[in-house]
Structure 1
């Protein structure tokens, strides 16, 4: 027994010892095999000569026959546009709610697109899927997939994309890296459109080069145009701009992405690719040309947004504006919360504009989450600021509806929703730094009591009982001066105020002209808000700052269940997001209501004059303009008055206990067009 046991134990230990070695050598052999297969594909791509005296089908067979079995594995890290195209088309198909769809994948190759599509929509929703390809070797691979997956609704058809006709009209037609390999592409596109139902969509993913004077987001240098077109031409792949131009001649574009991706075993070079989704209707595009421009933030702006929420209290705004169903409203974007609230108030159109494309990206993703997602997901994203499955949600539900500028922003910043959205951006860094300082100065428990105080009276007691507040309120004058100076230098300097608080130099100068020290200004802001507004139940601005999230009892209107549902039911469609400067967007159309926030505080005198004159031209008679200022008497108020408005100061910080729930400005103004 003992000997047997020892022998058994020895074998077990030996087996355990050799297991890692076997695993290592197994992985090594697998890796070597994979490289060998990739090299076989590369040999066919780079070195195999194609006969010129044969038809297109024979050329395709000659090109793919030696690499068909390895096609999917190699292209997985090369054809970067496939998944975004499938996600975008699937998102639009899901919106229909139908379960009898027909999909024709022209140039569908090995059927890999069908496997991928299953990640975005249940394949049972398709009554019929046609995988059409002219290359027999690729069709055999597709047939093997159909058999392996036991797809009863998928049919592999070895046929020409220019002549194939499905039995019924298609709801979706796709060209996935195939249109550039079809010489008679005009016929292929015409045939695709002929087979589309009236409400069908067409999706294309492929490589490309731009035209010399192409759309700004497509445009590339002459050397890139020459290099990539010549490189792909060696494999009979024509990536010129003509195919996309013809698509837009025949169809209406509803979505487009232009990007670039890596190439296996080719370091540094990144091949340009695009995704294009179109539908029947008026040929061309259904987006404002302004959104096709390559937008960059103005100089000295951070590479992300400054504000994660809007820092103007909408409650007094609504009392002054009295929004109605005939209103066309222009507002600055900021965090987008107030623009969404204007939609909820019933405005016919709300145009939200910002020169920082990151702010537009933030409101765009909020809009997409409301319009195409669930309340539960929207609450996680923008209520809690975190989502445990953000990558999948973004790919399936959000990205298909974003503009290209916003896609480029969010593609590299999904980690914001893992670490907490409200700790990101300029203001988010201030919130994070505040939390750190509270821990350093042992204020965490006090602030927790403050935030969760059940009544305003209890909140006041906690606030006035805090040692830091008592120090600033009751310290001798000379000590207050020292503390104010230190705070001004360390925490309220120009760098922190701009990159953290979004307060530019010109606004700081306005505060100084009123004879108010920046430390006194900030102290007045917080003290009055703490003494006059109940943070736990009513002041979601500071609740968010102190906790890094909202609560369902204390949040912007778009995050309430009622507000979310009203927006989703149609009011969200009244929101237009514009990447632009304020005055050019103001000049585009007539407005009945304009919300300038503190925009004019940022401007030099000549720009304020232009702003006032444009307001005079674009605001209709009886229309109302409102703004806030860090100054008691902003100098541009007289310019607005000269432009044909009756100007009124609604409130001033030196004449009231508390301006509003934010209490961040020195004055609040309205102007009515005469």
Structure 2
């Protein structure tokens, strides 16, 4: 795969345009797709929003497996390394995600110890992180990735300096969460007060009394009736339509309320770092709760030792698989990418998945709506070679702490 080019925008990112654009430019749908593409052309996800513990359980990930996954914020592919797979190929259409994935990998291999990794990737207002980057990480990076992080922004600061502050408050998702907090404040609600809850009962009380009523406010119902309102979550127009299919009214506010209720009330705050990012805009401190799976000390040594098993590619999933030999991949992680796809793209993807799948291979993915996106859309010749694990999928979906998806799905290669 070609090396990444820092700062390539949507208009020059042919891979992203091909994946996203399905309607004529001057149509209503086409304009919506292009607006989303412009917003998606920068850093979107500083942190991935799929639960890696659910991923690994759904994959039944074991030592020696070969994995192909979408990168996003890079957290999950690092968590997978704790299971010692033989290889991980990471693909992403967004060059900013490519740079972030490569930085996180280099941090594990180059920084002296676990506390330094946590300080860089999980702490806020740590002014020494840029110095740690210069001394340890930068020399390990390829030229394009180093140029990306050394580039100065309009403020005059280097990009890497965001780690001196709080990278999770940046990117499209970080700004979307900030806007959500501002909107709540305009209605008299301070979402950070969720951190004061000491039990599931108190979490639910705060949600029912302060958060749930927000979704009945006219302004919020008006905003959520527009596709562009969810672009900040990285939700393209096609995926918004999937969410809207669940709503009986014009606004998807009831669907969002249901998802946020799961995030706020179904898991102890101490165990759910997704909730900390949503409600407090940072990770929990040691006395408050747990860090993401890949930053837990018990996984540090295995992840550090296995970093060399990862390759990061600026490519589509289908494109990468087309270069692999038949029967060589054990596990596929599609995130929610199929929600973007038309029938031709879906069948092209699954044709390559089927060709490259090793015996017993598994595919996992998520969907905005509850139903699996591939049912009734794949050709019978392809669909007949895969078995849907419906019960296990539903069970693990209930355990997904990120809570923003309607469905988690597992398919296994039919023997």
Cα pair 1:650 1:669 within 8 Å, conserved: no
Q: Does 1:534 align with 2:242?
A: no
Give the Cα separation in 2 of the matches to 1:471 and 1:617: 48
List aligned pairs for 1:247-646, cutoff 5 A: 289-291=1-3, 296=8, 297=13, 298-299=16-17, 300-302=37-39, 303-373=41-111, 374-412=113-151, 413-444=159-190, 447-466=191-210, 468-470=211-213, 472=215, 480=216, 483=217, 486-490=219-223, 493-498=226-231, 500-515=232-247, 517-535=251-269, 537-551=270-284, 552=286, 553-568=289-304, 570-589=305-324, 590-638=328-376, 639=378, 642-643=381-382, 644-646=385-387
Structure with more helix by fraction: 2
TM-score (norm 2): 0.81
Q: Deviations over 1:573-603 (max 9, x none)?
A: 2222222111111223321010111111111
Cα pair 2:87 2:310 within 8 Å, conserved: yes
Give the Cα separation in 2 of the matches to 1:520 and 1:503: 17
Q: CA deviation at 1:620?
A: 1.2
User: Matched residue of 1:415: which SS?
Assistant: helix
User: Matched residue of 1:583: which SS?
Assistant: helix
Residues 1:524 and 1:612: Cα distance change in structure 2 (over 3 Å) = same
Q: Deviations over 1:244-295 (max 9, x none)?
A: xxxxxxxxxxxxxxxxxxxxxxxxxxxxxxxxxxxxxxxxxxxxx5326778
Q: 1:664 aligns with which of 379, 392, 404?
A: 404
Give the Cα separation in 2 of the matches to 1:622 and 1:372: 36
Larger Rg: 1
User: Matched residue of 1:577: which SS?
Assistant: strand
Q: Could you list the runs of 5+ residues in structure 2 that have no partner in the other structure? A: 18-36, 152-158
Give the Cα separation in 2 of the matches to 1:318 and 1:650: 16
Residues 1:436 and 1:610: Cα distance change in structure 2 (over 3 Å) = same
Residues 1:501 and 1:470: Cα distance change in structure 2 (over 3 Å) = closer
Q: CA deviation at 1:658?
A: 4.4
Q: Relative to structure 2, which stretch is displaced further, 639-648 or 593-602?
A: 639-648
For 1:124, the equivalent position in structure 2 comes to none
After superposition, the CA RMSD in angstroms is 2.6
Cα pair 1:650 1:670 within 8 Å, conserved: no
Cα pair 1:558 1:564 within 8 Å, conserved: yes
List aligned pairs for 1:177-196, cutoff 5 A: none
Give the Cα separation in 1 of the matches to 2:363 and 2:227: 29
Q: CA deviation at 1:327?
A: 0.4
**Bigger relative contact order (CA 8 A; separation at least 6):** 2
Residues 1:392 and 1:422: Cα distance change in structure 2 (over 3 Å) = same
Q: Could you list the runs of 5+ residues in structure 1 that have no partner in the other structure? A: 1-288, 473-479
Cα pair 2:264 2:275 within 8 Å, conserved: no
Residues 1:319 and 1:641: Cα distance change in structure 2 (over 3 Å) = farther
Cα pair 2:329 2:356 within 8 Å, conserved: yes
User: Matched residue of 1:308: which SS?
Assistant: coil
User: Matched residue of 2:323: which SS?
Assistant: coil
Residues 1:314 and 1:416: Cα distance change in structure 2 (over 3 Å) = same
Give the Cα separation in 1 of the matches to 2:315 and 2:129: 29
Cα pair 2:339 2:373 within 8 Å, conserved: no
Residues 1:307 and 1:641: Cα distance change in structure 2 (over 3 Å) = farther
Cα pair 2:366 2:407 within 8 Å, conserved: yes
User: Matched residue of 1:291: which SS?
Assistant: coil
Give the Cα separation in 2 of the matches to 1:669 and 1:363: 25
User: Matched residue of 2:160: which SS?
Assistant: coil
Give the Cα separation in 1 of the matches to 2:137 and 2:273: 26
Residues 1:667 and 1:399: Cα distance change in structure 2 (over 3 Å) = same
Residues 1:385 and 1:620: Cα distance change in structure 2 (over 3 Å) = farther
Residues 1:471 and 1:574: Cα distance change in structure 2 (over 3 Å) = closer
Give the Cα separation in 1 of the matches to 2:358 and 2:107: 33
Give the Cα separation in 2 of the matches to 1:596 and 1:368: 24
Residues 1:673 and 1:295: Cα distance change in structure 2 (over 3 Å) = farther
Cα pair 2:332 2:363 within 8 Å, conserved: yes
Give the Cα separation in 2 of the matches to 1:456 and 1:387: 31
Give the Cα separation in 2 of the matches to 1:657 and 1:330: 21
For 1:202, the equivalent position in structure 2 comes to none
TM-score (norm 1): 0.51
User: Matched residue of 2:2: which SS?
Assistant: helix
Give the Cα separation in 2 of the matches to 1:563 and 1:353: 23
User: Matched residue of 2:62: which SS?
Assistant: coil
